Amino acid sequence: MYRATAVVHRACGADSQRTVRRLRQAASVVGAIAFCGCSGRQSALDPAGRGAEQIAELTWWMTAGLVTIWCAVVALTVLAVRSHPETFTRRRAASLIIGGGVVVPTVVLAVLLFFGLSLLPAQLAPAPEGSQVIHVIGEQWWWRVRYERPGREAVELANEIHLPVGEPVEFRLDSADVIHAFWIPSLGGKIDMVPGRTNRLSLLPTRVGRFRGVCAEYCGGPHALMAFEVVVEEQEDFDRWLERQAEPAEEPALERGQRLFQASGC
């Protein structure tokens, strides 16, 4: 009988060790995948703009709050499972439940709520007067981009946005057909583009680089392909680029583009 019991214990111990090893491996894989999403040219947690910096800060604070609440709940669960019922008086049990299950989550969530609300004015504030204004119109399934130049003809292009680093920019966003959502994760938050309504979004890039913008609202079949390139560069480079875009297209390049359009379609 003793030997049989020992064998069972060893078997159970081996199973427990294998389970723990598998859980650790799974946690390592999940952690690696999660942290891979914290960088790159389309990551809100690798900020390159003032708005994205605030969103990333709020994300980390929310993560800390989540961990705090989780630890409180787990601690209460472990205490309830491992303690003998005789050790708990009715008053002590009530204080633990109210403290760990009500007070801690309420305080943490209230702090996060007020912190998040404090960021709203900065996110919604208009760009200073004289800032570069860029009209973006979402269409199925591409982006029409128009740079306003006071006193001169506007510059219009598609699926590509250039921005000067360290300078605020105001986007005026419209939709030509259905609801789209304009989002450059590395630079700031997202905002809807509603037909018949012009929404505004101010961004302030803080470092140069190439980033990826997307439509964050399902808008039809090729929605997943509705992306655009964002280039943040020095002010001098941006000015030169905008002047080049304002020049008339050269005839050979125009002919090549026309042939490509006629052969492939939009």
Read off the pLDDT of residues 121-157 as tens digits, 9 standing for 90 and up.
Answer: 666 778 888 899 999 999 999 999 999 998 888 899 9
In terms of pLDDT, which residue wins out, 76 or 62? 62
Question: How far is residue 148's CA from residue 132's CA, in Å, rounded to a whole number?
Answer: 7
Mean residue pLDDT of the chain comes to 82
Question: What letter represents residue 254's amino acid?
Answer: L
Task: Decide if pLDDT at 31 tops 80.
Answer: no
Confidence band for 29, pLDDT divided at 50, 70 and 90 = low
Task: Decide if pLDDT at 65 tops 50.
Answer: yes
Question: How far is residue 110's CA from residue 117's CA, in Å, rounded to a whole number?
Answer: 11
The percent of residues above 90 in pLDDT, for the chain, comes to: 41
- Asked whether the beta carbons of 173 and 247 are under 8 A apart, the reply is no
In terms of pLDDT, which residue wins out, 50 or 265? 50
Contacts of 235 (CB under 8 A, 6+ apart): 164, 165, 166, 167
Confidence band for 232, pLDDT divided at 50, 70 and 90 = very high
Confidence band for 9, pLDDT divided at 50, 70 and 90 = very low
Which pLDDT does position 45 carry in this prediction? 86
In terms of pLDDT, which residue wins out, 253 or 139? 139
Task: Decide if pLDDT at 100 tops 90.
Answer: no
Confidence band for 115, pLDDT divided at 50, 70 and 90 = confident
CA atoms within 13 A on the CB side of 189: 19
Task: Decide if pLDDT at 52 tops 80.
Answer: yes
Which pLDDT does position 261 carry in this prediction? 74
Peptide bond into 61 cis (omega under 30): no
Task: Decide if pLDDT at 56 tops 50.
Answer: yes
Q: DSSP string of 138-198? A: EETTEEEEEE--TTS--EEEESEEEEETTS-EEEEEEESSS-EEEE-TTT---EEE-TT--
pLDDT digit string, tens, across residues 194-228 = 999 999 999 999 999 999 999 999 998 899 889 99
Which pLDDT does position 263 carry in this prediction? 79
CA distances from 212 to 17, 47, 173, 253, 258 (A): 45, 12, 17, 26, 27
Confidence band for 119, pLDDT divided at 50, 70 and 90 = confident
Task: Decide if pLDDT at 48 tops 50.
Answer: yes
Which pLDDT does position 265 carry in this prediction? 66
Which value, to the nearest 10 degrees, does the dihedral of the CA atoms of residues 128, 130, 131, 135 take? 110
CA distances from 90 to 85, 94, 101, 233 (A): 10, 6, 16, 65
Which pLDDT does position 2 carry in this prediction? 44
CB atoms closer than 10 angstroms to residue 92: 10
Question: How far is residue 72's CA from residue 98's CA, in Å, rounded to a whole number?
Answer: 11
pTM: 0.73
